[in-house]
A = this chain, B = another copy of it.
Amino acid sequence: MKEQESSDTRPVFELRPIGVIRSVLTSRRDAPKQGSEGAPDAWIEIDPSLVEGLLGVAPGDEVIVITWLHQGERDTLQVRPRRDPRNPITGVFATRSPDRPNPLGLHPVIVRTVEGARLLVGPMEAVDGTPEVDIKPVLC
Beta-carbon contact of B11 and A131 below 8 Å:
yes
* Copies assembled: 2
Tell me the complex Cα distance, A22–B131, Å.
31
Q: Is A57 an interface residue (CB 8 A)?
A: yes
Q: Is A38 an interface residue (CB 8 A)?
A: no
Tell me the complex Cα distance, A53–B135, Å.
26
Beta-carbon contact of B102 and A18 below 8 Å:
yes
Tell me the complex Cα distance, A135–B90, Å.
13
- Given that A10-B17, A14-B14, A131-B13 are known contacts, is A56 also in contact with B102, CB under 8 Å in the complex? no
Q: Which residues in B have their C-beta under 8 angstroms from that of A100? A: 53, 134
Q: Which residues in B have their C-beta under 8 angstroms from that of A63? A: 93
